[in-house]
Structure 1
Amino acid sequence: MGLGLLFALCAAVFMGTATVFQALGARRVTPGGAGAAVRATWQWPFIVGVALDTLGFGAELFSLRSVPLFLVEAAVAGALAVTALVSALVLRIRLRRVEWAAVGAVCGGLALMAIAAGRETGGDGDARMRAAVLVGAVGLALVSWALSLRLGPMRHRAAVLGALAGVSFGVVSVAARLLPGLSFPGLLVDPAVYAVIVSGITGYLVLIQALQCGSVTSATAAMVTGETVWPALFGVVWLGDTTRHGLAPLAVAGFAASIAGALTLARFGEAEEPTL
Structure 2
Amino acid sequence: MLIVSLCGALAAAVCFGLSSVMQAVGMRKAGPVSELEPKSLVRAWLTLPFLAGVGLDLLGFGFELVALRHLPLFLVQAAIASALAVTAIAAAVVMKERLGRVEKGAVAAVCVGLALLGVSAGPEGANRAHTDFYAALAACLVGLAVLGAGAGRLRGRWRTMVLGLCAGLCFGVLALAARTLPELDPAGMVREPATYLVAASSLIALVLWTMALSGGSVTTATAAMVIGETVLPAVVGVVVLGDEARPGWVPVAVGGFLLAVGGALALARFGELSGQPSTPASVPGVREPDAV
Given the superposition, is the C-alpha separation of residues 205 and 85 from structure 1 closer, same or farther in structure 2, using an over 3 Å criterion? same
**Aligned match of 1:16:** 17
Residues 1:92 and 2:96 are matched in the alignment: yes
**Aligned match of 2:6:** 5
Given the superposition, is the C-alpha separation of residues 20 and 220 from structure 1 closer, same or farther in structure 2, using an over 3 Å criterion? farther
**Aligned match of 1:82:** 86
Secondary structure of the corresponding residue to residue 156 of structure 1 = helix
Residues 1:66 and 2:70 are matched in the alignment: yes
> What is the alpha-carbon distance in structure 1 between the residues aligned to residue 219 and residue 103 of structure 2?
14
Per the normalisation by structure 1, the TM-score is 0.89
**Aligned match of 2:217:** 215
Does the 8 Å CA contact 1:14/1:56 hold for their aligned counterparts?
yes
Does the 8 Å CA contact 2:151/2:162 hold for their aligned counterparts?
no
Per the normalisation by structure 2, the TM-score is 0.84
**Aligned match of 1:233:** 235
How far the C-alpha of 1:154 sits from its partner, in A, is 2.2
How far the C-alpha of 1:47 sits from its partner, in A, is 4.3
In structure 1, stretches of 5+ residues that fail to align are none
**Aligned match of 1:165:** 167
Does the 8 Å CA contact 1:138/1:198 hold for their aligned counterparts?
no
> What is the alpha-carbon distance in structure 2 between the residues aligned to residue 221 and residue 19 of structure 1?
16
In structure 2, stretches of 5+ residues that fail to align are 280-292
> What is the alpha-carbon distance in structure 2 between the residues aligned to residue 193 and residue 249 of structure 1?
34
**Aligned match of 2:180:** 178
> What is the alpha-carbon distance in structure 2 between the residues aligned to residue 196 and residue 31 of structure 1?
29
What one-letter code is carried by the residue in structure 2 that aligns with 1:103?
A: V
Residues 1:198 and 2:200 are matched in the alignment: yes
Residues 1:28 and 2:37 are matched in the alignment: no
> What is the alpha-carbon distance in structure 2 between the residues aligned to residue 47 and residue 207 of structure 1?
19
* 1:68-92 C-alpha deviation (Å, 9 max, x unpaired): 0000000001011001012112221
Secondary structure of the corresponding residue to residue 28 of structure 1 = coil
Q: Which 10-residue stretch deviates more, 266-275 or 241-250?
A: 266-275
* Length, aligned pairs only: 270
Given the superposition, is the C-alpha separation of residues 186 and 136 from structure 1 closer, same or farther in structure 2, using an over 3 Å criterion? farther
Does the 8 Å CA contact 2:34/2:277 hold for their aligned counterparts?
no
2:270 to 255, 268, 271: 268
How far the C-alpha of 1:146 sits from its partner, in A, is 4.0
How far the C-alpha of 1:4 sits from its partner, in A, is 0.5
**Aligned match of 2:284:** none
> What is the alpha-carbon distance in structure 1 between the residues aligned to residue 174 and residue 51 of structure 2?
20
Does the 8 Å CA contact 1:163/1:225 hold for their aligned counterparts?
yes
* 1:133-162 C-alpha deviation (Å, 9 max, x unpaired): 2333234234323432x22x4233222221
* 1:162-190 C-alpha deviation (Å, 9 max, x unpaired): 11111111111011011122224321121
RMSD between aligned residues: 2.5
Given the superposition, is the C-alpha separation of residues 204 and 267 from structure 1 closer, same or farther in structure 2, using an over 3 Å criterion? same
Does the 8 Å CA contact 2:167/2:206 hold for their aligned counterparts?
yes
**Aligned match of 1:256:** 258
Does the 8 Å CA contact 1:138/1:195 hold for their aligned counterparts?
no
2:134 to 119, 130, 135: 130
Percent identical pairs in the alignment equals: 48
Q: Which 10-residue stretch deviates more, 66-75 or 137-146?
A: 137-146
Given the superposition, is the C-alpha separation of residues 175 and 4 from structure 1 closer, same or farther in structure 2, using an over 3 Å criterion? same
Does the 8 Å CA contact 1:218/1:266 hold for their aligned counterparts?
yes
